Amino acid sequence: MATFTYGRVSTTEQSADNQRIEIEAAGHQVDFWFADTISGKTGATQRPQFAALLSQIRNGETLVVAKLDRLGRDAQDVCATVKLLASRKIAVIVLQLGKLDPTSPAGKMMLTMLAAVAEMERDLLVERTQAGLARAKNEGKTLGRPSKTTAEQRANIIAKYAAGESVSALARMFSVSRANILGVVKPS
């Protein structure tokens, strides 16, 4: 029987390679490796590579993941994913949990508690991020991407647009996109 492994990262600046290395270092043979670059907010079965894994893995085989949150976006999703895998007699190994059978009654209880804690940590992270953004905004800091044009250029763009210059011509003139010009001349 084959061993399937799965990793997930949130951004393209990250790599799931460390998760694969961690799984191999724990002594698991990687017969099939699947990895998604997708937000943790996306349910497990909605992730393209996890869905591909589910279609390829056969009943009775093994799935190894480095961390519990790779199996779902929240406690409910993790439990649903493990239940789906258990219904197919697929053994699930979560390195983070050690030698715990997530399909046993004790394993299910631990899984539910740990998934709830992981969900709470994610919610707290979002809360802290929002609080930090609000504080920065209250301090007068400019949030978001830096403008591609200077204040002087924006005034020039507005004047030329008012004089009848087209959006496309202005975009070429200032080496920015049409959307950027429209944001200057028709702010929302």
Q: Is 175 a catalytic residue?
A: no
pLDDT at residue 146 in the model: 86
pLDDT at residue 100 in the model: 66
Q: Do 7 and 93 fall within a single domain?
A: yes
Q: Is the pLDDT of residue 28 over 80?
A: yes
pLDDT at residue 99 in the model: 64
pLDDT at residue 139 in the model: 93
Q: Is 134 domain-assigned?
A: no
Q: Is 171 domain-assigned?
A: yes
Q: Which of 26-35, 62-71, 97-106, 122-131 has the highest mean pLDDT?
A: 26-35
- % of the chain with per-residue pLDDT over 70: 98
Structural domain for 45, as ranges: 3-121
Residues 70-93: b if buried by 16+ CB within 10 A, e if exposed: bbbbbbebbbbbbeebbeeebbbb
Average pLDDT score over residue span 21-36: 95
User: Catalytic one among 10, 15, 87, 104?
Assistant: 10
CATH of the domain at 34: 3.40.50.1390
Q: Is 105 domain-assigned?
A: yes
For the chain, the domain total comes to 2
Q: Which of 58-62, 69-73, 131-135 has the lowest mean pLDDT?
A: 69-73
Residues 125-163: b if buried by 16+ CB within 10 A, e if exposed: eeeeeeeeeeeeeeeeeeeeeeeebeeeebebbeebbee
pLDDT, tens only, 111-167 = 788 778 877 888 888 899 999 999 999 999 888 888 899 999 999 999 999 999 999
Q: Do 155 and 117 fall within a single domain?
A: no
Q: Is 139 domain-assigned?
A: no
Average pLDDT score over residue span 164-183: 94
